[in-house]
Structures are given as C-alpha cells and as structure tokens.
Amino acid sequence: MKKWVWLSVALTISIVAFGCKKSPAPPAEPDTPSTSQSADERQATESDAQPVAQQETAQAEKLVPIPLTLPKPMFVGTPQNLEGVQNLEKPLGKPRPPFLAPEGVTNVALHKPVTSSEPFPIMGELSMIVDGDKEATEGSVVELGPFAQWVMIDLEQEYDIYAIVVWHYHRTPSVYKNVVVEI
C-alpha cells in the first residue's frame, strides 16, 4: 500500500504559470516642440511628463483575479487518515482567495516543452503536463517513477510570473512534502 501511495505522490504534476508579456505602451503623441523653445525648455518639458507616464503604467496594470479554472474535486475510495500530519492546515471550507495579476495574463506554460528526470513516465506523456487538462481521469495523468523526481518547463522566453499553481494527484485527499518550485 505504501509503495502505491509513494507512486501516487509523484503521479500527476500539472503546472500552470500565469504571466504576461509586457507589451510596450503605445507611445504618447508627443507635442512637437516649437522652434522657439530652447533645448533646456524642451528637456524640462520632457522630464515633467515622465511621472505622468509612470502613473499611467501603474494604472494600466490594475490587478484583477487570474482566470484560473480549477479541476473538479474527484475523491474516490476510502479517504485516508490525515490526522497527525505536522503543519497541515485545515481545509478552509471555501475557495481560497484568488491570485491577482494585471488584466490579460495568460498561462505561459501551456504547450511549452517539458523535460523530466523520468524521460519515459510510467503513465502518460510529459507533454500532458502542460496540455491544459487538469482532470484526474485515467487519460489525463502523468505518473513518474518513485522517489525524488523533477519536471522542468521551458517557457522559451522571459515573462513576469504572477502565480504558479501545481496540481498533484487529486483523486484522493493527499499531503505532499518537499515540493520545490524554482524560477
């Protein structure tokens, strides 16, 4: 039984990294300086406009809840006794507060290249980790071998990351220890 549970620990790893590409703000229509303005006056006018541009950028990045669709709960079989697990937070009984990010963020990990310490998973394909399917059904999971494993997703370019969400095997309530996320 313990061997099966250990295999389950490394079962389904789905990582969703929400980020956004910082698209440059469209350049403001510059006022064409008159030829009668001196170079010093033009420089003063440009530096006075700088804080306004920074304020507009801050307003444009208003934080909103990330459009995160969680997988459906799918508890199957006899629940495991989780009493005695140290540092285990009790369930909130309600959804956790949403992650906030600038409007328009997307899942930047979706369909990106995946490598792993287990190049040939016991079940599934590594590409399934970033396919967007978060369900706990047979055709939706990736099972890696026992013991410590790692998964790396190549985002192929730099992004600002606002949240990382990890799904493990969630057909039964489980506790996972020593999960490390590196950016």
Two structure tokens written together for 145: 């071998």
Question: CA 44, 47, 53: angle at the middle one, nearest 5?
Answer: 145
pLDDT tens digits for 74-108? 666 666 667 777 777 777 788 788 999 999 899 99
How far, in Å, CA of 98 to CA of 167, rounded?
Answer: 16
User: What is the C-alpha to C-alpha distance for residues 77 and 143, in angstroms, rounded to an integer?
Assistant: 19
Largest CA distance in the chain: 85
Higher pLDDT, 11 or 92: 92
Q: Quote the pTM value.
A: 0.61
Best mean pLDDT range from 112-116, 163-167, 174-178: 112-116
> Rounded to an integer, what distance in angstroms lies between the CA atom of residue 134 and that of residue 168?
10
CA nearest neighbour of 172 among 76, 71, 72: 76
pLDDT tens digits, residue range 33-67? 444 444 444 444 444 444 444 444 545 578 999 98
- Residue 32: pLDDT band with limits 50, 70, 90: very low
Give the residue extent of every domain in the chain: 1-23+44-81+100-183
Average pLDDT over residues 148-159: 94
